[in-house]
Amino acid sequence: MAVITDILRAKRDSESLSKDDLYKFTSGIADGTVTDYQASAFLMAAYINGLDSKETLALTMAMRDSGTVVGWDKSLSPLADKHSTGGVGDKISLILAPLAASIGIRVPMISGRGLGHTGGTLDKLESIPGFNVNLTLEQFKEQTADIGVCMIGQTDQLAPADRVLYSLRDATSTVTSIPLICASILSKKLAENPDILVFDVKCGTGAFMHTLEDAAELAGTLVKISKMSGKKASALITSMNTPIGLTAGNALEVQESLNILRNKGPADSTDLTVALVAEMAAHAGIDNGEMLCRKNLANGKAMDVFAKTVETQGGDIAAFEALPQALVIMDVRAARTGYWRGPDALAVGNAVRKLGGGRYRVEDRVDSLVGWEQEVSCGSPVENGQLLGRVHAADRVAAAEAINAISNSFRWDMPSDPLILEEIR
């Protein structure tokens, strides 16, 4: 087996690395025998010269195996999870997990926090008073077995090598390497060890991937490597030029999720959630997945699973719905008559972040009450002076700045994007 310097030289010179080489490198990352400057050299060489499918698979599996891989009893199958590449107003996980569980698919979901202009599932969940995302892996397994769903944060036991490489990718300007993105995402998801993985790859101004070509490359790589690892997988490429749903901001998005689970939410968030669960159902051999989802939203079964999940993890839905609103709520009205495509997703994400609803540093505290709430769906005809939405803020100065940023991003008299741009299986 090569020493670390041999591995670095080989990748520098565009040679392929063996599975043993990548396992040696990754185990060294996890135990500290590979230095940060050696890891940075590898990342830059991989960024410039690329990793082929076999190398990407080997790196992914090595990163997965740098920590614990969750073991599940076969009787619990099918187990499935979803990963989104991040967007604005993307509260889909909160609805998807209980909806999938309601039709017989267990969902062990390990999620992250928001950083940058995109929100994080954990931040949304923690806007529910008492909700505990810091469970042990044993508690995670027990709850998934008992009620079909558990939603927690990343633990130190899962894919520890990824935490090191993830932080170095930003410092070395290697974030946009698709093989490295794929290995980072999948090492954590494969450590969860579900049978099925479904990906929601966002595309547009508010997404990590701005073009359909780049989004398709990432989606295709995620699906291919997932299948090579022995999982059933597919991906939907979805639009993120405007926010999804009617809200952006943690508590506002949780309330929208509750509305959807009560069968009263906006069509786009509902339809995308149903489409993703239907993908899971197809992989699991469950017929009529979409019909079952619509039925369980209408009859309350999905809401019942979510309520049980919240209760089991210490949360209180009634206390959440009794929370005060933000101190300042200011209206945003149309300045003209026309066909309103909506606000730009990136502008909304950045505005909510500046209001305190997102982070600039990992240690920043998040204000769960601030955000953007639309009164009108994107892609609607509106009249001059009509109420389009509201900014929720901690003070009037911050609210006025957010209104200015969001209003200046409005797009008019343009066709709306399809919700799903492409499907990859």
pLDDT value at residue 118: 83
Q: What is the mean pLDDT of residues 100-114?
A: 93
Q: Identify the residue with better confidence: 363 or 16.
A: 16
Q: Pull the structure tokens for residue 210.
A: 């701005």
**Domains present along the chain, CATH in parentheses:** 4-50 (1.20.970.10), 74-156+191-319 (3.40.1030.10), 328-412 (3.90.1170.30)
Q: What is the mean pLDDT of residues 292-312?
A: 98
pLDDT of 72 over the 90 cut: yes
Cα–Cα distance for residue pair 59/66, rounded to 1 Å: 10
pLDDT value at residue 177: 94
pLDDT in tens, 128-145: 999 999 999 999 999 999
**Residue indicated by tokens 């909700």:** 131
pLDDT value at residue 2: 75
pLDDT value at residue 409: 98
Which residues are catalytic, by number? 81-84, 121, 169, 184, 188-189
pLDDT value at residue 170: 82
Mean pLDDT estimate for the chain:
95
* Widest CA span in the chain: 70
User: Are the CB atoms for 372 and 249 separated by under 8 Å?
Assistant: yes
pLDDT of 183 over the 90 cut: yes
Q: Pull the structure tokens for residue 50.
A: 């690329």
Q: What is the mean pLDDT of residues 289-316?
A: 98
User: Are the CB atoms for 207 and 199 separated by under 8 Å?
Assistant: no
pLDDT of 1 over the 60 cut: no
* Amino acid residing at 215: A
Q: Among 160-169, 288-297, 372-381, 387-396, where is mean pLDDT lowest?
A: 160-169
**Residue indicated by tokens 């639009």:** 239
Closest CA to 371 of 397, 359, 353, 386: 353
pLDDT of 175 over the 60 cut: yes
Cα–Cα distance for residue pair 99/96, rounded to 1 Å: 5
pLDDT value at residue 360: 85
pLDDT value at residue 222: 98
Q: What is the mean pLDDT of residues 280-302?
A: 98
Cα–Cα distance for residue pair 23/59, rounded to 1 Å: 7
Cα–Cα distance for residue pair 89/375, rounded to 1 Å: 14
* Buried/exposed 45-84: b ≥16 CB within 10 Å, e otherwise: bbbeeebeeebbbbbbbbbbbbbbebebeeeeebbbbbbb
Cα-flanking dihedrals φ and ψ of residue 204, to 5°? 145, -170
pLDDT in tens, 327-382: 999 999 999 999 999 999 999 999 999 999 998 887 889 999 999 999 999 999 99
Q: Identify the residue with better confidence: 167 or 103.
A: 103
pLDDT of 38 over the 90 cut: yes
Cα–Cα distance for residue pair 341/407, rounded to 1 Å: 12
pLDDT value at residue 116: 77
pLDDT above 90 as % of the chain: 91
User: Are the CB atoms for 278 and 290 separated by under 8 Å?
Assistant: yes
